[in-house]
Structure 1
Amino acid sequence: MSRKMVVFFMLLALIVAVNGQTFHFGSCPTPPVQQNFDVGKYLGRWYEIARLPAVFEKGKCNQATYSLLKEGVVKVVNAELLKNGEINSIEGQATVTNSTQPAKLDVTFFKGIADAPYWVISTDYTSYSVVYSCRNVFGLLYVDFAWILARSRTLPDSTVSQLRGDLESHGVSLRGMTLSDQTGCDAMPEGQGQ
């Protein structure tokens, strides 16, 4: 089999594997991250307001809780409410890999699987956060994720529009971004994910 055919089948397999993901030809954009990021102020609960497609998110009421494990290492607990009423959660770790850029973390949920970037693009720590993650694949395309998070289950539409515009101004395509469902979340205990 020729090298071109191998690459074609690898790309085809990748497209099938990332069904529902946002992928593009080229290389990951590199938006600037939050200056003087303070992970201590970032800890606590964040609710998902909007996101690019993520095959690993299947429910609603998505939320993330961050707590400090040790200097430069954050415990991450993501939780969501599934259609059958069950709460699905997963625990991982986010690590600051370069102390001069603390807003660029690497997150992992499974041993043996490569860390994923978790870049805090902007946050005011008290109401909103914009997070971006991107991985180059075979030097030909990239798969990316973006989230708009809030400290409450709602965020004004004008704020969401502004945050979307900020991401797009740095070359991030948000064509597939959807608003997250944060209604009917009573089954999500306030302590869930801590």
Structure 2
Amino acid sequence: MNPSFSLVLPFLLPLIGAQVPHWGPCPEPAVQAAFNLKQFMGRWFEIAKLPAQFEKGRCIETNFTMKPDSSIRVVSSEVLKGELRKIEGTGVTEDPKNPAKLGITYSYVLPYSPYWILSTDYVNSALVYSCTDVLRLFHVDFAWVLSRKRTLPASTIDKAKETFTNSNIDVSRMVASRQQGCDKTL
């Protein structure tokens, strides 16, 4: 075994265990052309996703707010076992020439993870993709269908899945997020 791989392996096992790895490097899907970050800001509800170890609850939503230094305050929440849980992170535009490619981190010690907006109309829905290459041998990815409301028409979700598939992103395991009973007091 390659010595550098054996040093990295203990850090990769939790990531690998949480997701289904795919052979080869990450796909390079096209992102939203002429993306307007300010229009994207605000509250987004998770409608469908590739299962993620870090998202186990229901009523998952994320609120994006611009900060004075042009970074993004990212507050994600979910209801898990009857309890509202929130986590705050930071987002950045990694390349000013390509503002639809964001990076987000929820820890000062972890690097930014890709958070690419593949498409959005800003007022109804957005398709987001994240992928991490592991030594270019395999990749682990995440995909989300987001909405400004807690529901989307089935036809919109079907079109979203088609967009992911056409970008070489396997969404065969995509599941609906649970957004029922979220507006009740906990």
Task: Give yes or no for TM over 0.5.
Answer: yes
Identity of aligned residues (%): 39
Deviates more, 1:13-22 or 1:32-41: 13-22
Q: Which runs of structure 2 are paired with 1:164-183 in the superposition (5 Å)? A: 164-183=161-180
Match of 1:46 among 29, 32, 44: 44
Give the structure 2 partner of residue 25 of structure 1.
23
1:69-103 deviation digits (Å, cap 9, x = unpaired): 035411100000012x1101100111012111000
Give the structure 1 partner of residue 79 of structure 2.
81
| Deviation of the 1:112 alpha carbon | 1.1
CA contact (8 A) 1:34 1:123 kept: yes
1:160 aligns with 2:153: no
In structure 2, how many angstroms separate the alpha carbons of the residues matched to 1:108 and 1:73?
Answer: 11
CA contact (8 A) 1:75 1:92 kept: yes
One-letter code aligned to 2:122: Y
Give the structure 2 partner of residue 137 of structure 1.
134
Please, which runs of 5 or more residues in structure 2 have no aligned partner?
Answer: none
1:18-62 deviation digits (Å, cap 9, x = unpaired): 324132010000100001111111111000000011111110000
Please, which runs of 5 or more residues in structure 1 have no aligned partner?
Answer: 190-194
In structure 1, how many angstroms separate the alpha carbons of the residues matched to 2:92 and 2:165?
Answer: 26
Q: Which runs of structure 2 are paired with 1:113-124 in the superposition (5 Å)? A: 113-124=110-121
TM-score by length of structure 2 reads: 0.92
| Deviation of the 1:142 alpha carbon | 0.5
In structure 1, how many angstroms separate the alpha carbons of the residues matched to 2:185 and 2:29?
Answer: 33
CA contact (8 A) 1:22 1:52 kept: no
1:90-132 deviation digits (Å, cap 9, x = unpaired): 0011101211100001111101111100100000000000000
One-letter code aligned to 2:180: T
Secondary structure of the corresponding residue to residue 168 of structure 1? helix
In structure 2, how many angstroms separate the alpha carbons of the residues matched to 1:188 and 1:26?
Answer: 45
In structure 2, how many angstroms separate the alpha carbons of the residues matched to 1:181 and 1:53?
Answer: 12
One-letter code aligned to 1:136: D
In structure 2, how many angstroms separate the alpha carbons of the residues matched to 1:175 and 1:132?
Answer: 15
Secondary structure of the corresponding residue to residue 96 of structure 2? coil
Cα distance change on mapping 1:35 and 1:6 into 2, 3 Å: closer
Q: How many residues align?
A: 186
